[in-house]
Amino acid sequence: MRIAAVSLATLVLFPTVSWASPTSFAGKAFDTCDTPSSATMQAWLSSPYRSVGVYFGGDGRGCKTQANLTAAWVSEQVSEGWHLLPLYVGRQAPCTTTQSFKMSADPSVARSQGRAEGGDAVAKAGSLGLNAVLYNDMEHYDSSNTACRTAVLSYLTGWTERLHESSYFSGVYSGAASGIRDLANVYRSTTYARPDFIDFAWWNGKADTDAGSYVPSTYWSNHQRIHQYAGDHNETHGGRTINIDSNQVDVQPPVNRDFTTYPTVSSGANGPAVSALQYLLKDDGRDAGTVDGNFGSRTDTAVRAFQSARGLGADGEVGRRTWTALLSAGWQPNLARGSTGLEVRRLQRALTAALGRSIGIDGDFGSGTEQAVRDYQTTRGLPVDGEVGPQTWTALQSGQ
């Protein structure tokens, strides 16, 4: 059955989420080692910049004191219209030759270190009132070194995993030719967690968010990019000079994907469920066109490509199996009763589609979610333990 139009009346949305959503910003940003004073920020309102990167934590940051960076400063700048980009400089790649604070070369230890620093970032961000996306600053390293690359990806998985548990969105800043390209190469991995936003250093002087050959244009295409296009240089605005890096920002919060039911839709359909579909297809790296709620030819082509890749019937109709596979797509963290955050929300969405009944989408793996997992495992012939590991994730991601 094809639903030609899907309106808010036919889809009962869950209540407004309690976690903080990223704020929208498109324009120029600058970052500088030492957080500028309020007076300097006021003077720079005459500049073309309206976003600023602040180094709020991490033992690897160069300017550790940050006397100006307080909760009051954060509140003041936000009220003045500044968009903030929180940067955390923690452990660096084990093969780096320019940094002294390094992660372990052992991937399991590196992941634990990423988790620990993610927890520290969450605590520091909370005390400052910083926004919903925290960026890990991973400076350039030799990504041709396989062991080093594996350690970095493991560390960043720990970082993203820990942020997601606290319902923060994960960002990663790195060189386009090192950390960002390595993340792009594992974009659809079920082993490594994918950050929600990327901030890539490529000093080509172009104020855009095109990452060239380093990142396919369909990756992080839901307004999830920042391009640092110019390195250390002085600029003067309002009589105040700062040594800065320049960035072009294009970030927006995700569209709503939380529904009590996921209806069958196909070409010609429109409405919020189609917007969710388009966002999910783009999140999987498919060219679904603009997220506009209209199921047109590009969306149809993207649906068929996704269905083919997942071994589903490539008919362009998005029913229970396709919704389940799309909603669960991504890496496969171990979740159980007591787990929290964004990955639990992803699981709850997929279970809602798979079981055809409302599962509360609240990021809290409580008794209701555990029972839904057990019901899913029972009906799919999986071991029934109420926990979600690779076997259950794989079944969901195959649309079972």
Report the amino acid identity of residue 83: H
Each residue's pLDDT tens digit, 53-63: 999 999 999 99
Q: What does 227-255 look like in DSSP terms, one character per residue? A: EEEEEEEEEEETTEEEEEEEEEEEE-PPP
Q: Which pair of structure tokens corresponds to residue 1? A: 């059955």
CA angle, residues 258, 188, 163, in degrees to nearest 5: 60
Euclidean distance between CA atoms 225 and 209, whole angstroms: 6
Predicted local distance difference test score (pLDDT) of residue 100: 92
Predicted local distance difference test score (pLDDT) of residue 21: 79
pTM of full prediction above 0.75: yes
Q: What does each C-alpha distance from 323 to 79, 100, 282, 314, 397 come to in angstroms? A: 40, 46, 14, 13, 10
Euclidean distance between CA atoms 116 and 233, whole angstroms: 34
Q: Name, in order, each residue with C-beta under 8 angstroms of 213's C-beta and a sequence gap of 6 or more.
A: none
Predicted local distance difference test score (pLDDT) of residue 144: 97
Each residue's pLDDT tens digit, 117-129: 999 999 999 999 9
Predicted local distance difference test score (pLDDT) of residue 20: 74
Sign of CA dihedral 12, 14, 15, 21: negative
Each residue's pLDDT tens digit, 169-203: 999 999 999 999 999 999 999 999 999 999 999 99
Predicted local distance difference test score (pLDDT) of residue 131: 79
- How crowded is residue 279: how many other Cβ atoms within 10 Å of its Cβ? 19
Each residue's pLDDT tens digit, 80-128: 999 999 999 999 999 999 999 999 999 999 999 999 999 999 999 999 9
Mean pLDDT of 229-239: 98
